[in-house]
């Protein structure tokens, strides 16, 4: 464009305009100049995933309005008609919180004895790495609900057998950014929730914990041959919830389970794993993290994990995700001795 041609346009001075926008047309590009052509392209907008465009100021060029701002790690210009309002957060629920108290059928001491006498001993994480058998006092701390009140503890009792109906785009933007293999898998988690009647925020919390924020080898996929042996030329299978990953050989056990279930994509592993949790735990009345870990109806059987801290650690993520979404849990089931 010749400099003399610019006189044909009425260009305003930049004015401050601080506002966040979503991307309406992600096939367009961020530009170095407001009226840039192909030579001024920085990056195509779909490369930024679900990132918001954070406008800093604007100008008008004839009948067109352009915003300058940041998206991802880049700064540049976008025309107004390429942008839209950002996705809104879910509205906080107006219904009151409801807690149902359920009495254990046995005493705390008897439940504790059952746990301590299991063949697969309750485990505690060693500072610096590795596992050891948990002490009786450690097991009691996580088993005894009398002191487990407020904050993260409450989320160990949150009912998990109900879909929240949060859009995939909101899940991607607020919970699934920079999560390794789980990044932008909001649609898979939404489908898992609607298909199997499971809380999608819980599913994400569980998967993030089990996969080390989407970075574990089991989550990234393990190649197995047709006999279930690890092979560089084998097909990849994925496991996002640690199902079948028994402690003595977690990687191979989890990979073989995924192979039997046909989980050869991350999406299949997310959706199929949700079905496993629903069928094998929720259908048994174990619809909270506490109940999945300790099985109050039948202690010592069908317990999801050996880690004494599993329910609390998962609940910590769950609580933080609810805060990020701007909502709180509403329905809780607390077991008491």
Q: If 0-12 CB within 10 Å is exposed, 13-18 middle and 19+ buried, where does residue 37 land?
A: exposed
Residue 30 is part of a domain; what is its CATH number?
2.30.30.170
Q: Is 330 within the bounds of a domain?
A: yes
Average pLDDT estimate for 62-84? 89
Q: Pick from 30, 51, 84: which residue ends a domain?
A: 84
Q: Are residues 78 and 104 in the same domain?
A: no
pLDDT, tens digit, 9 for 90 and up, residues 150-187: 999 999 999 999 888 888 999 999 999 999 999 999 99
Domain boundary residue among 60, 84, 108?
84
The Cα 164–Cα 194 span in angstroms is 9
Note whether 183 and 68 are same-domain residues.
no
Question: 41 and 121 share a domain?
Answer: no
Q: Which residues pair with 187 in a beta bridge?
A: none
The pTM for the full model equals 0.66
Query: 226: buried, middle or exposed (CB in 10 Å: 19+, 13-18, 0-12)?
Result: exposed
Q: What is the pLDDT of residue 177?
A: 92
Is 274 in the same domain as 320?
yes
Domain boundary among 59, 84, 109: 84
- Report in angstroms the alpha-carbon separations of 245 from 70, 200, 262, 335: 42, 22, 16, 28
Mean pLDDT of 8-30: 82
- Assigned domain for 248 exists: no
90 within a domain of the structure (yes/no): no
Is the pLDDT reported for residue 62 higher than 80? no
Residues 156 and 113 in one domain: yes
- Give the residue numbers spanning the domain of 74: 3-84
Q: 104 and 78 share a domain?
A: no
Please report whether residue 74 resides in a domain: yes
Residue 158 CA: distances (Å) to CA of 83, 162, 275: 38, 10, 19
Average pLDDT, integer, range 3-21:
73
Assess contact for 82 and 42: CB atoms under 8 A.
Answer: no
148 located within any domain:
yes
**250-272 tens-digit pLDDT:** 899 999 999 999 999 999 999 99
141 and 64 belong to one structural domain: no
Q: Is residue 41 part of a domain?
A: yes
Specify the number of domains making up the chain.
Answer: 2
pLDDT band, residue 83 (cuts 50/70/90): confident
Same-domain pairing of 64 and 125:
no
């Amino acid at each position: 464009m010749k400099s003399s041609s610019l006189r044909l346009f009425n260009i305003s001075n930049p004015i401050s305009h601080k506002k966040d926008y979503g991307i309406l047309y992600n096939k367009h590009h961020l530009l170095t100049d407001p009226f840039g052509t192909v030579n001024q392209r920085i990056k195509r907008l779909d490369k930024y995933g679900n990132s918001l465009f954070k406008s800093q100021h604007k100008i008008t060029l004839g009948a067109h309005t352009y915003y300058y701002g940041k998206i991802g790690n880049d700064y540049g210009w976008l025309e107004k008609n390429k942008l839209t309002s950002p996705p809104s957060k879910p509205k906080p629920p107006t219904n009151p919180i409801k807690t149902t108290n359920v009495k254990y059928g046995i005493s705390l001491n008897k439940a504790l004895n059952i746990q301590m006498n299991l063949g697969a001993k309750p485990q505690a994480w060693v500072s610096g790495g590795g596992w050891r058998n948990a002490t009786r006092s450690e097991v009691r701390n996580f088993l005894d609900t009398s002191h487990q009140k407020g904050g993260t503890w409450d989320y160990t009792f949150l009912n998990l057998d109900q879909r929240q109906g949060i859009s995939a785009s909101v899940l991607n933007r607020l919970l699934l950014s920079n999560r390794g293999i789980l990044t932008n898998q909001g649609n898979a988690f939404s489908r898992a929730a609607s298909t199997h009647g499971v809380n999608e925020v819980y599913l994400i919390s569980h998967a993030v914990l089990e996969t080390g924020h989407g970075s574990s080898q089991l989550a990234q996929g393990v190649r197995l041959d047709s006999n279930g042996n690890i092979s560089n030329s084998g097909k990849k299978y994925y496991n996002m919830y640690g199902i079948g990953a028994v402690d003595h050989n977690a990687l191979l056990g989890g990979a073989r389970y995924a192979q039997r279930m046909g989980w050869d994509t991350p999406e299949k592993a997310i959706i199929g794993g949700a079905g496993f949790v629903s069928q094998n735990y929720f259908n048994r009345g174990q619809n909270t993290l506490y109940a999945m870990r300790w099985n109050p109806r039948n202690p010592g059987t069908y317990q999801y994990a050996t880690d004494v801290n599993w329910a609390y650690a998962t609940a910590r993520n769950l609580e933080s995700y609810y805060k990020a979404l701007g909502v709180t849990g509403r329905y809780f089931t607390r077991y008491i001795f």
